[in-house]
Structure 1
């Protein structure tokens, strides 16, 4: 039953991040909430919403979200660390929505493989609970 809780948590967290990023893209970026007359250079002194717009745009310029997801996904796949896999998966979701889909898709899938592999191993452990180590060997006890 532990693996079901992990799947439910994965679905909930993924759904929340997906909704947040979709709202950010469609209700903020594409709806024109940010001012359009921001100064192009950071040295010119962006203020308030212009600074927020600049910081947000920098996350998906040159596919930075995608690269972050890919790097975290490869690290998670090699090290089998769930925390790194969570980072790669969530960056991948954000990258898929925020224009960085090339690398984000690969990073998200590598991360999801690590998250799914741990769930399968937990489920196998539940199925084998209660068995003795030598049960499958068909060795009779010493008499």
Structure 2
């Protein structure tokens, strides 16, 4: 009988997902927000011509305004931990990583860690169920 490598694949997926989300969040933070690519004031007539960039800026600001991204990560992480749901754990983990980069570190850190506990334990629980 061949050995099941679900633990290795699970860890690999967690790391690859983390790297992709961190790259996107860091690109948004340092490439768009702090680099001055987006217009500062979207109410002036000069910025109205660049409405697409104003929409991108509004979307980014709304993600981390009032800790929305961090609270989403925390809710997903708590629910995933309580219910053992891996889909919620993935949402909490990835949103938590983005929240850590995009100024939502208070709630995002707790949500990401709770979600990571569920993701890390998922492979072990599946192996025990198979045995």
- TM-score (structure 2 length as normaliser): 0.86
Task: Report what 1:21 is aligned to.
Answer: 25
Cα-to-partner distance string for 1:75-129 (whole Å, 9 max, x where unaligned): 1011101001000000000000000000000000110010011122245567x5x
Q: Which runs of 5+ in 1 are unaligned?
A: 129-143
Aligned length: 123
Superposition deviation, residue 2 in structure 1: 1.3
Cα-to-partner distance string for 1:3-40 (whole Å, 9 max, x where unaligned): 10111111111111111111111111110110112129
Task: Report what 1:68 is aligned to.
Answer: 72
| Runs of 4+ with >3 A deviation | 122-126
Task: Report what 1:100 is aligned to.
Answer: 104
Distance in 2 (CA, whole Å) between partners of 1:125 and 1:75 is: 22
Task: Report what 1:3 is aligned to.
Answer: 7
Distance in 1 (CA, whole Å) between partners of 2:24 and 2:60 is: 14
Among 10, 35, 54, the alignment partner of 1:31 is 35
Superposition deviation, residue 47 in structure 1: 2.4
Q: Is the 8 A contact 1:3 1:122 kept in 2?
A: no
Structure showing greater Rg: 1
Distance in 1 (CA, whole Å) between partners of 2:129 and 2:77 is: 25
Q: Is the 8 A contact 1:60 1:100 kept in 2?
A: yes
| Structure with greater helix share of residues | 2
